[in-house]
Amino acid sequence: MSSEPPGFTLPVWACAAARAAVQQLHGEAFAAFQELLLDPGDLATTSVPVQVAAPLGDGWALGEARCDPGPGVLDLTRDLIVWALVRWLEPLPTPAAAELSWLLLEAGEGVGIHAASGELCLSAYARSLLAANLRPLVPAGRRLHVRLVIPAGRQLAVRTSNAAFGVVDGLALIGTQATVQRSAAPEQLEAALARLRTVAAAPGFGGALVLVIGENGLDLAPQLGLPPELLVKAGNWIGPLLVAAAEAGVQQLLLFGYQGKLIKLAGGIFHTHHHLADGRAEILTALAALEGLSGEGLATLHRAATVDQGLAALAADQPQLAARLRRRLVQAIETRCADYLQRHGHGRPGVGAVLFDRQRRICAQGPAGAALLAGLQGGS
C-alpha cells in the first residue's frame, strides 16, 4: 500500500471554500486551513487548505480553494480553482420553517446541473459534507445561500463522461468519499478487492454481485433499483475483480456501466484505464463491420469523437443496424468475460452486462445481464 498522503475529492475542496467564506460573514480572520468533518460518523477533523476568503460587499463573501487530488494521480481537478459565494438570506416567518430550509445550494458558472431538472448535480456525500460543516456556523433562525463556482468547469466538463449521464454546463460534485481513489493504482484495486470480499462474506449473501464502473455508475445504480449493499466500484481493474469474484464464491456478476467504457471488454481489454489501452474506435468499427456496415459509413463511425456519438449518429441514419450493433457489443462483452474466467481456471460466476448511454438510459443488455438486472431490481 502507498504511504503517500491522500488527495481530496472535489466536494471536499468546495466545502472548505464555503466554510472559509461563511467565517467571513461572521467577521472572523482568514483561516488558511479549514478543519473539516470528512466522515459524518467520525468526530475527528482534517485540515484542508484554502487559498483566500474575503467579504465582497452587498452581503456576499467569497472563499477559494485549489484542488489537489494527491501525488501520482492523473486527475483533471489538479490545481482546479473552486469558489464559494455565500450570503445570509432573509429569515422565514417561523423558526421551524427556517430550520427546514436553512441551506440553499446553487450551481454557479462551471458547476454541473441535471439536464432534465436544472438542479445542482450533487452526490449525497457532498450534500451531507456541506451540511455537517456549515450548519454549526449558521445561527438559529438564519438561512444561508451558497453558490458554488468552478471557473474552468465548463471547459473541463467536455473531457469527462458527465454528459453521458445527463449532466451539463460543468463539473458534477459526485464524489462518494473524501479521498481520491486512484483508479489505475494498485491501492485502488486493493480497496475494491476488500469491498468485494466483504460483500461476498456477508450473512445472507445470495450469490449475486454488481460491479459498477466509476462514480457515475455508483451514483446511478441505486436509482435504478440495484441494492446498494451488493455494489462494488470496479474502477479500471475489471479482470482481477472477475477472478476475485469467482474465488469468493460469487455465482452471478452484473457489470453495470457506461457503454463508452465497457466497450473495451468486447476487445479483450480488462484493465480499462486509457493510459494503458484504448482501442474503442477499432472495437466499435470491427463489430459494426460484422453487422454489415461498410464504406463511408464505417469510416464515419471510426471518426466519431466518442462511442456514444458514433452510435447515436448511426442510430439516426440506420436505426435497425445500430440496434443490432449494440446487441452484438453487449453480447461480446459477456462472451469475453466468460472466456477470461475460463482462461484463469474458473467457470463461474456467470457474467451479465448492462450498458447506459448519455441520457442515463439503458441502451443495451446482454442475455445474462437482462435476467440478472430484472432479478436484482425485484429484490431476488
* Share of residues in the chain with pLDDT > 70 (%): 90
Indicate the CATH number of 10-171 among 3.30.2110.10, 2.60.120.10, 1.10.1040.50, 3.20.20.370: 3.30.2110.10
Q: What percentage of the chain has pLDDT greater than the value 90?
A: 60
Read off the pLDDT of each residue in 175-194 and give the average, rounded to a whole number.
Answer: 72
pLDDT of residue 378: 67
| 161 vs 261: CA distance, rounded Å | 9
What's the mean pLDDT in 313-319? 94
Buried b (16+ CB within 10 A) or exposed e, 190-224: ebbbeebeebbeeeebeebbbbbbbbbbbbbbeee
Residue 380: predicted pLDDT? 47
pLDDT over 80 (residue 165)? no
DSSP H helices in the chain: 10-25, 95-100, 124-134, 153-157, 186-201, 214-223, 238-247, 259-266, 280-290, 295-303, 307-317, 319-343, 367-377
- Band of the pLDDT at 305, cuts 50, 70, 90? confident
The predicted model scores a pTM of 0.59
Q: Where in the chain is the domain with CATH 3.30.2110.10?
A: 10-171
Please give the pLDDT value at position 33: 96
- Angle of CA points 213, 215, 220, to nearest 5°: 85
Indicate the Cα dihedral angle 6, 7, 12, 18, nearest 10°.
120
> In whole angstroms, what is the distance from residue 222 CA to residue 231 CA?
9
Give the Cα separation of 101 and 117 in Å (integer): 20
What H or E segment, with its residue span, contains residue 102? none
**Which is more confidently placed, 53 or 348?**
53
Using DSSP, how many helices (H) and how many strands (E) does the chain show?
A: 13, 16
In angstroms, the CA 94 to CA 83 distance is 31
Whole-number Å distance between alpha carbons of 179 and 332: 35
pLDDT for 72: 59
Mean pLDDT within 223-230: 92
Rounded to the nearest integer, the mean pLDDT of the chain is 87
Does position 162 have pLDDT exceeding 80, yes or no?
no
φ and ψ of 130, to 5 deg: -65, -45
Radius of gyration of the chain (CA): 23
Q: Compute φ and ψ for 283, nearest 5 degrees.
A: -65, -45
Contact present, 193 and 199 (Cβ < 8 Å)? no
Which range has the worst mean pLDDT, 13-27, 94-108, 115-129, 220-234?
Answer: 94-108
Distance CA 14, CA 134 (A): 12
Does 162 or 322 have the greater pLDDT score?
322
The phi, psi pair for 359, rounded to 5°, reads -95, 15
pLDDT > 60? residue 19:
yes
- Residue with the bigger pLDDT between 166 and 165: it is 166
Mean pLDDT of 26-33: 96
Q: Taking residues 345-364, report their average pLDDT.
A: 86
C-alpha to C-alpha distance for 50 and 132, rounded to whole angstroms: 18
Q: Is the pLDDT of residue 160 over 60?
A: yes
Q: What is the pLDDT of residue 344?
A: 85
- The arithmetic mean of pLDDT across residues 1-15, rounded, is 75
